[in-house]
Chain A
């Protein structure tokens, strides 16, 4: 990974708690995609990612994916992506409460204005690949460009989006507006 040094310090230590191994793996993958460090529940984590079914005492503020019952600082839909999970983990670690906005409660709205920063087509492709948790090498292979060029695009993305980490760039980048016509 070629994330800048600043990004390392804002990595969280995250534990995952689920009732079965498959769910445990899925949550662990999400934590990795967010760029956070996976730790044991006993190792005083900064935050917990759970499917809400594990019968355990939570060692830290938790984000629950699709849970139906329980007391959690963060609630996200079961299909939440890495960008949302990352934002929620950071928020609960900072002592905030997180709730996803249900689609149905979104009010009548206008078409989005032009975004404050415009990305190039290549930057959008690179950002999409980062959102899928790919490494620079994997992005380079996917797009048929050199890892050096990938790094160049990522630096440009960080600069344009004012992001200090891949996760932050992905989180800010998804606010770029796609409209269906």
Chain B
């Protein structure tokens, strides 16, 4: 047998275990009566963040930290847009802020969580790293980070760390069970409005759009071959007040061509609320412009 100090697998294993041990204090086990255990991340003193999807709509929750200390927590705010729910509690330890981790595809990541058995630790590689993206619920997430790690519904919401101790963000179950990371910077961005207002306000037009091919005869007029057809208009919403109709084809917003849902989402961030934007459409085979005052996206 080789000396353990020279066996790289043993050193790796020991380093991983040490990393997990040091990060345990961040993991919050969240118990809501009548619901399965779930995980959260102690983000700062008296604030725990967790995954918003399927988080029970309940008053109080019991939060248990790795050292066994328990707190009564209350939901301070939830943001389906970035999948972050913030809970506040009284008298938690003050976690030293962790440096932001810099994710690299193929680099190692540790995902921590809590379940009925206590703290869980999972190891894998960062599967992919991409630019910012928009969720179906309207939020902008700073980077698209996917992990080659599986987490359960109980474990999602726990911290995801790099081997050096940096924090990537919190784990989230994405489409087809793939695990995403909501980056720490995105959590930081939504945390203030969640704590002060209970929600994150984003822009709303009050219409449903579908990508379409602009009929050939109109492509020259529109200056583009693709647009977004209005499939429905919410009664009394901003689009209805701007006189938009089902069947109109949206081709430009504020003079910029829009052909995809993501292009539209760019104009509907938190800063857009209350602002006027110019819409260019094709209606009944003719160009048509109108201005809409961006409203506040209603909660689900």
Contact = CB atoms under 8 A, between A and B. Distances in A.
Interface of A: 104, 107-115, 118-122, 124, 176-181
A179 B249 contact: no
A57 to B, nearest CB: 38
Contacts of B30: none
Contacts, number: 92
Nearest to A176: B210
B243 interface: no
B226 A118 contact: yes
Q: Interface size bucket, B side?
A: 35 or more
Given A111-B265, A120-B214, 18 more contacts: A107-B172, A107-B175, A108-B83, A108-B175, A110-B144, A111-B136, A111-B260, A120-B212, A120-B215, A121-B215, A124-B229, A176-B210, A176-B211, A179-B136, A179-B261, A181-B209, A181-B265, A181-B268
Contacts of A179: 136, 208-210, 261, 264
A110 B135 contact: yes
Contacts of A124: 210, 212, 229
B212 A111 contact: no
Interface of B: 51, 53-54, 83, 133-138, 144, 172-177, 180, 204-215, 226, 229, 231, 247, 249, 259-262, 264-265, 268
A161 to B, nearest CB: 13
Given A108-B135, A179-B208, A118 B213 contact: yes
Contacts of A122: 215
A107 B178 CA distance: 9
Pairs A-B, 3 closest by C-beta atoms: A118-B213, A179-B261, A111-B261
Contacts of A177: 210-211, 261
A35 B229 CA distance: 29
Contacts of B215: 120-122
Contacts of B208: 178-181
Contact of B177 (A107, A118, A176): A107
Most chain B CB neighbours (cut-off 10 Å) among A109, A114, A120, A181: A181
Contacts of B205: 181
A123 B162 CA distance: 50
A180 B135 CA distance: 12
Contact of B262 (A104, A111, A120): A111
Contacts of A113: 260
A180 B229 CA distance: 12
B204 A181 contact: yes
A180 to B, nearest CB: 5
Nearest to B175: A109
Nearest to A108: B83
30 contacts: A104-B54, A107-B53, A107-B175, A108-B51, A108-B83, A108-B135, A108-B172, A108-B173, A110-B175, A111-B260, A111-B261, A118-B212, A120-B212, A121-B247, A121-B249, A124-B212, A178-B231, A179-B136, A179-B209, A179-B210, A179-B261, A180-B207, A180-B208, A180-B209, A181-B138, A181-B204, A181-B205, A181-B206, A181-B209, A181-B261
B174 A119 contact: no
Contacts of A111: 133-136, 260-262, 265
B171 to A, nearest CB: 11
A120 B175 contact: no
B118 to A, nearest CB: 25
A108 B78 CA distance: 14
Nearest to B138: A181
A111 B174 CA distance: 12
Contact of A120 (B173, B204, B213): B213
Give the one of A118, A177, A179 with max B CB within 10 A.
A179
A123 to B, nearest CB: 8
Given A121-B249, A124-B212, A110 B133 contact: yes
Contacts of B265: 111, 181
Contacts of B174: 107-109
Contacts of B175: 107-110
A114 B135 contact: no
A112 B247 CA distance: 21
Contact of B135 (A109, A118, A121, A178): A109
B238 to A, nearest CB: 10
